[in-house]
Structure 1
């Protein structure tokens, strides 16, 4: 049995690879070659990637694609998308073209408020604690001034510091619930630095506060951390058009298509099993743009799904209705994004993606990302209520299957042509490829 290793992080990258390959893989030499194959030949660029995280072995590539023809607030965008799933970019592009001919997408930011909390214990009277917090309010602001100065000069900073009594949920539990404006920055480091200073001030001032004498300790800070649940950092994306502007789909009139789509959204809104997959499709579009622009897709995912469950039941993020002969389809979604800080100025492809979008500020990026999610959902629903999801998805997945089977370029061409009108399934592809190869013998 292998023994744990001491000082792994101090090994060179080559030594890390050798150690991993020899102990955890069946073919160490092939593993070493594979990992080195994905290094960037530009040593400076590889070092940049190595320093993004710890214990780097190699690079893990995702395709970077683009979905053109997105008309958003009367401006045309080509949206970058980093994702490995077949049909996502194609579906987004198809939805973009559909709505380009019907006035395009509208989007607007409803709020940019971000949240951070100092979680602490206090076992005295809540009224005394509130009086103390009111008393030290100016001190809390003064002690964080060195951290917030630059942000405030740009119009951001700490917006509010409020005491929240959570003792019904947990004995002695209180929060300093703080709201922030971080402008074009994602703001995680800024918010956490402010919170840790607020916590230090809280502890120091509580020890010296006369009404708390004899309490040991007066307050016990447990943790200080931002929240990825940001219902106040909200953006709306929407489309609408007259019913007569909707095309006939698979034997359905435009009005029938619209009614089926409205009903499909209603099902996702009342059935959590459907809502999860429904919203996952939205996140296909959102995550792809979030990754391409160097933002934290895990934080976005967590916040969005919490927002979808804010009523106490997990529900659809999108809404749809028919009113006065108009079809309306829209979504409100919380997106805490940034266009400065993090890796936005370091990763060359992130810089490219932001340039592709016209170097947007955070509010504009929020609108673009929300539109990508709405477009993805529309494309999925359009397929579901007409031809079904598999026809388009498996067509896009065909090349993946052929690559898995080691098909030649000639075989790929032949099978792509064969499946233009036939249903794609893994077994059907295998059978057709084997038949083609038998004919060639």
Structure 2
């Protein structure tokens, strides 16, 4: 049964752990020891981690790996990836190696525009609201000038403010639809601060706009918040090679190319397949986004919205064969940052960005998009040739053996055994028990 507590946030970390383990675990002493075993031995570093979020008990570690040999626009990268799923890093590395010998990945930034909105209710004559907006539009930027000064010095800032009529969707609903250039910052705090200032100016100026009636002057600001849907903050990643170079031990190059194109066409036509297809892309994207201290939830939301932009959820990747050439590409929205937030706080994030050569935000967009494209290529390659389970389950073998409590000697022997035998959960359990019994 759930327990309630008063003033939990005011307890010390030890007191929080005591309350949680006493009330919710079967063996409080063992649970306490486990939680504390994940503390960092460097107290200064642990305090830094504790202050990232609220009510911290301990750290939750995810593996931090790298996928080497990514040739992007003729420059080699080793890409850091933070993820718990086996085979993702291996698949990305394999795809990187495959395309390195075929010209590598090419990327293009198509836009870097971020979006924020002030959502408000206006109960009155819409023509007067449009006249009012035209009058105060310059003032909106002026009143936010203190907030935008530093960003403007670096070449960014507010790029446009529009009034949009949404009354067909919600009675009286209008919005200030605002666009921004935030350079190497993801820009969430900057955008939200500007939006809140726009909202203040909107309300204050309405109070003194004489053409409005008393009721029209009382504009209700519902909320001021950035949008994680950024269809104009867009990057394209692509690969291509002659069909004859699509080597595969399972099928001919021509059949491989045709199967790849059909697999993408199916993901474009069938939403059930598209979701899993795009999830594979996000395996690569999220891993790099997380490693570089960016907001993978925001990235996920924006990308999946983009996959539905034409009214149906569909594949993010595209493929075609033309004049004997195979083309595979993707365009996705990515709002990322390389300064501010965790990028300047988390020690591993700093290392990840250093491994990447301290990229700008647009450069990071390109790297992340390539990781997603590589992951999708690797997944489709397995699906249309050997099947996904052969490679994935081989990588998953150690996870199963760890769950079974195998010793290092047993792991070595069973790993050798499954080099020539099919890996399934039941086959691993049977082989493990047979080894133990004998």
State the TM-score bracket (shorter-chain normalisation): over 0.9
Deviation, structure 1 residue 12 = 0.6
Residue pair 1:249, 1:257 contacting (<8 A) in 2 also: no
Q: Aligned equivalents of 1:219 and 1:421: distance in 2?
A: 71
Alpha-carbon distance between aligned partners in 1 of 2:72 and 2:227, rounded to the nearest angstrom: 30
Deviation at 1:249? 3.6
Separation in 1, partners of 2:150, 2:213: 37
| CA shift in 2, pair 1:171/1:2, >3 Å | closer
Shift of 1:436: 1.0
- TM-score, normalised by the number of residues in structure 2: 0.99
Note the C-alpha offset of 1:190.
Answer: 0.2
Gaps of 5+ in 1: none
Give 3-state SS (helix, strand or coil) of 2:280's partner: helix
C-alpha distance after superposition, 1:403-440 (max 9, x if no partner): 0000011111111111112110111001111111122x
Deviation at 1:215, TM superposition (A): 1.6
Shift, 1:291, TM fit: 0.2
- Displacement after TM superposition at 1:4 (Å): 2.5
Structure 2: distance between partners of 1:53 and 1:88: 28
Output the CA distance in 1 between the equivalents of 2:340 and 2:285: 20
Given that residues 235 and 333 in structure 1 are in contact (C-alpha distance below 8 angstroms), is that contact kept between their aligned partners in structure 2?
yes
Q: CA deviation at 1:2?
A: 6.8
**Structure 1 residue matching 2:305: 3-state secondary structure:** helix
Separation (CA, whole Å) in 1 of partners of 2:35 and 2:170? 49
Q: Helix, strand or coil for the counterpart of 1:343?
A: helix
1:261 partnered with 2:274: no
CA-to-aligned-CA distance 1:83-136 (integer Å, 9 cap, x gap): 000000000000000000100000111000000000000121222111101100
Q: Is the 8 A contact 2:289 2:295 kept in 1?
A: yes
Residues 49-103 of structure 1: CA deviation (Å, up to 9, x unaligned): 0000000000000000000000000000000000000000000000000000100
CA distance in 2, matches of 1:177, 1:434: 63
Q: C-alpha deviations, 1:185-241, integer Å up to 9, x for none? A: 010000000000000000000011011132265311000000000000000000000
Looking at structure 1, the residues matched to 109 and 30 of structure 2 have their Cα atoms a distance apart, in angstroms, of: 50
Task: Say whether 1:169 aligns with 2:169.
Answer: yes
Q: Tell me: CA distance 1:226–1:427, structure 2 relative to 1, closer, same or farther (3 Å).
A: same
What is the deviation of 1:293? 0.1
CA-based RMSD of the aligned residues comes to 0.9
Mapped to 1, the partners of 2:158 and 2:202 lie a distance apart of 16
Distance 1:158 1:415 in 2: 60
Report the equivalent of 1:71.
71
Q: SS state of the match for residue 117, structure 1?
A: strand
Label 1:35 to 1:323 Cα distance change in 2 as closer, same or farther (>3 A). Answer: same
Which residue in 1 is equivalent to 2:424? Answer: 425
Matching of residues 94-113 of structure 1 within 5 Å: 94-113=94-113
How far apart are 1:3 and its partner, in Å? Answer: 5.6
Q: SS state of the match for residue 102, structure 1? A: coil
List runs of 5+ in structure 2 lacking aligned partners.
none
Deviations 1:150-186, CA, capped at 9 Å, x for gaps: 0000000000000000001111000000000000001
Q: Which residue does the alignment assign to 1:44?
A: 44
TM-score for both structures, normalised by structure 1: 0.98
